[in-house]
Amino acid sequence: MQDMELKKTNYKEYLSDSVFDEITQVADSLELETYAIGGYVRDIFLNRFSKDIDIVTIGSGITLAEALAQRWRKERVHLSVFKNFGTAQLKKNGLEIEFVGARKESYRLDSRKPIVEDGTLEDDQNRRDFTINAMAFCLNNNRFGELLDPFDGLNDLDAKIIRTPLNPDITFSDDPLRMMRAIRFATQLDFRIHPDTFEAIYRNRERIHIISKERIVDELNKIVASPKPSIGFKLLDKSGLLSIIFPELSALKGIEVKNGKGHKDNFYHTLKVLDNTAEKTDNLWLRWAAVFHDIAKPQTKKWDDRLGWTFHNHNFIGEKMIPRIFRKMKFPLNEKMKYVQKMVSLHMRPIVLAEEEITDSAVRRLLFDAGDDIDELMLLCEADITSKNSEKVVRYMANFQLVRQKLKEIEEKDRIRNFQPPITGEEIMRVFKLDPSQEVGLIKKAIKDALLDGEIPNEHDAAYQYMLDYAKGMGLSPLD
């Protein structure tokens, strides 16, 4: 962003895209006072590319959008009109342009849905969430590129500050989702929240209860997708919001000491694992797996006089906790949830392999259970090494390289990843004239185990003979 000493009043060179010239021509022909406002303007000064443009007019935004759609009728453009909200959207050349008439808003205590009235540009800027989102560029020809910045948003951008335009208590009480947005912007942009604004978040934290779970999860996803997600979770914790919206994560906080032995703070460990994961991948759901990987440690924590603090089976208990948490928080209950469960369930396996002798059988079983997700599982496990003991970290990372090499060798030799045993349940039932039963399941499992343990090759004839021998021990004979 340019130095504040070079601050000027007109920025028309920032509006060089031809779409603005056309908006200007149509707005002037309709005698509509028109501005680009909000995030697009903010991102210009941050040198961030944005395909979303918000346009506000003193009058009808729908009228302006419809006139532009008519002008662009020979091009690939899509118009959506939302009359109930007084808004319209045009999609053109990869841009999404939102149109709305300037308005002022008032709120009831029990809802974040405002009572909307027509207003002036000043009214519209007053209702914006943060100073950096209240800046506007005039698009009318006689003032094209003029910046209207009534709350010194440009200075706040330069100082990297998130601050509300008006009284933050009113801003957050009116629309409590703005508390989440403040923390999300601070995380995405690596800004700090102004002390007065942050204190207001703390005071108004209970108001978050009126926000839908879906909107909260949307903001959480944007925090998790940020370059350094821990910033957002630390702010959520400090503000008191985390214990309300995600108590299971908040419960990881703290260290208990017994007989002079304390365990690590699993909250800050989790955030470190999340940041480590974020450095390596943009996969949102692998990042969420990092958030959830130790979620069951509070439930599984026990003191053992010989071993100290233990968290036995926290991976399996965590896997079982995830559907309930996903359902409560309105996360998707589909393959994304199953993926997170899988990562949480398996995240200890490579670590155990790295600590012990790496056997072919254990590697085959890990490949079988992880399937195509094995590389992402290994990434998560490496991110889970957060020890401050540098020698320990070096040792673990070296062992993980051995595990990776063994995985590659076994995969090339035995084709285990996502393999299906060469004998199906249907074939077992046909050979032994069985109905679906426990016996069928036992035979199928025995064949799978023999393959994974390397007792037989992954071939039909070898598996068939093994099936006959195993079934004979059960008192079963083929009925050909």
What per-residue confidence (pLDDT) applies to 419? 66
Helix (H) / strand (E) element for 157: namely: helix 153-159
Residue type, 27: A
Give the angle 172-175-178 at the CA atoms, nearest 5°: 65
The rounded distance, in Å, linking the Cα atoms of 147 and 9 is 6
Q: Which of 437, 447, 435, 436 is nearest to 471 (CA)?
A: 447
β pairing state of 161-162 and 192-193: parallel
Go through the domains of the chain in sequence order and give each one's CATH number: 4-159 (3.30.460.10), 425-473 (no CATH)
Q: What is the CA radius of gyration of the chain?
A: 29
Collapsing DSSP to helix, strand or coil, 117 comes out as: strand
Q: Token digits for 454? A: 């390397």
What per-residue confidence (pLDDT) applies to 393? 85
Q: What is the mean pLDDT of each run of 10 residues along the chain (480 residues)?
A: 51 86 97 96 92 95 96 91 92 94 72 70 92 97 95 96 96 94 98 98 97 97 98 98 98 91 93 98 98 97 91 96 98 97 95 77 86 94 90 86 85 69 90 92 91 86 93 86
The rounded distance, in Å, linking the Cα atoms of 162 and 106 is 23
- The separation between CA 436 and the C-alpha centre of its own chain, rounded to angstroms, equals 42
Q: Token digits for 292? A: 């959830």
The rounded distance, in Å, linking the Cα atoms of 315 and 29 is 64
Q: Which of 142, 128, 151, 155 is nearest to 37 (CA)?
A: 128
Output the pTM of the full model: 0.86
The rounded distance, in Å, linking the Cα atoms of 161 and 330 is 31
What per-residue confidence (pLDDT) applies to 108? 63
Q: Token digits for 206? A: 């209970």
**462-471 contact pairs (CB < 8 A, 24+):** 463/421, 463/422, 463/423, 464/422, 464/423, 467/423, 467/428, 467/431, 467/443, 470/443, 470/446, 471/432, 471/443
Handedness of CA 197, 201, 207, 210 (dihedral sign): positive
Q: What is the DSSP letter of 474?
A: T
What per-residue confidence (pLDDT) applies to 1? 45
Q: What is the DSSP letter of 113?
A: P
Q: What is the DSSP letter of 146?
A: B
Q: How far is CA 144 from CA 16, 20, 121, 152, 391, in A?
A: 11, 10, 16, 20, 61
Quickly count helices (H) and strands (E) in the chain: 24, 15
